[in-house]
Structure 1
Amino acid sequence: MDTTIDRQAETAAIEDVVATIEHAQRNELVEEFVSLFREDAIWTTAAGRLLVGRDAIAAFTGQVLPGAMKDLVPSYEVVHVLFIRADVAAVKVRQRYSAREGEPRTDLGEGTPMYVMSKEDGRWRLTANQNTAVAAGA
């Protein structure tokens, strides 16, 4: 296996996945969001609920996402990418919310998701993920 990678290009591709997450969340697009996951992916919600497999992630997201962003605009910013291998990366993200009018919603705090992504068939996919809320004062 060739372990050399173009870090700049791969980081840009990973940032595109995170931008798609943001787009899907902002527009409450369940199918677009779920399509980013491997079939056997795991997802732990900010509340600590473990979801195993794309079907479980889809069922949960289908219940919670529609209507959730009615008054909110989420933003996702990649803050660090660690390439574990050429085809596996740990991606740290900063997640914030604002009101539709643009005012930050600091009352909702921030999220600090960790996405472990794997590159399969030329596409980065969400594989093992933890959506973590930042504790007040942290």
Structure 2
Amino acid sequence: MSDNVTVAGRAPADLDSELATIRAVVEAIAHAQDNELIDEFVSVFRDDAIWTTGHGKRLFGRAAIAEFTAQVLPGATTHGKATYDIEHVLFLRPDVAAVKIRQSYFAVDGELTGRGTPMYVMTKEDGTWVLTANQNTPVVD
């Protein structure tokens, strides 16, 4: 993860701690994707989360996200890997953050094959940051 994160909005008093925790969630997403760990990937979503895939499929709730992920994640790393860097965090409230991600997709041989720009709207639920309303968007040149 890059340390070049810009922050705006109504940041919490313990900004460094909250950013570290948000970064840990994004790292968990990357780890789950890289290792094809469906349960770990789904665990970072709120029960009633919204997820729109990079191809526009709308998923409502953790169960639907899990079902979709179980279909697409196994075998995905045979095509390569992706990196996830937090680019910008806008705190809408101290417990709600819009997190802009910069993704880079790499083939197995390490060649850059594409980019993505997901938006994660995260909420702090019972002391834990979770993905709540999210859009995974490819960058088209």
Could you say whether these structures have the same fold, taking a TM-score greater than 0.5 normalized by the shorter chain as the test?
yes
More strand by share: 2
CA displacement at 1:33 relative to structure 2: 0.2
- The question of 1:8 aligning with 2:13 is answered no
Look up the equivalent residue of 1:100 and give its one-letter code: V
1:109-124 correspondence to structure 2 within 5 Å: 109-124=114-129
- The question of 1:36 aligning with 2:44 is answered yes
Residue of structure 1 in register with 2:99 after alignment: 91
Residue of structure 2 in register with 1:133 after alignment: 138
Relative to structure 1, the CA distance from residue 4 to residue 14 in structure 2 (aligned partners, 3 Å threshold; closer, same or farther) is closer
In 1, Cα distance between equivalents of 2:12 and 2:128: 17
1:4-83 correspondence to structure 2 within 5 Å: 4-83=12-91
TM-score under structure 1 normalisation?
0.90
| CA displacement, residues 38-78 of structure 1 (integer Å, 9 cap, x when unaligned) | 00000001111100000000000000010011131211000
Percent identity of the aligned residues? Answer: 60
Relative to structure 1, the CA distance from residue 135 to residue 64 in structure 2 (aligned partners, 3 Å threshold; closer, same or farther) is same
CA displacement at 1:4 relative to structure 2: 4.4
CA displacement at 1:97 relative to structure 2: 1.5
SS of alignment partner, residue 110 of structure 1: strand
SS of alignment partner, residue 23 of structure 2: helix
Q: Which runs of 4+ in 1 moved over 2 A?
A: 99-105
CA-atom RMSD in angstroms: 1.3
Total equivalences in the alignment: 131
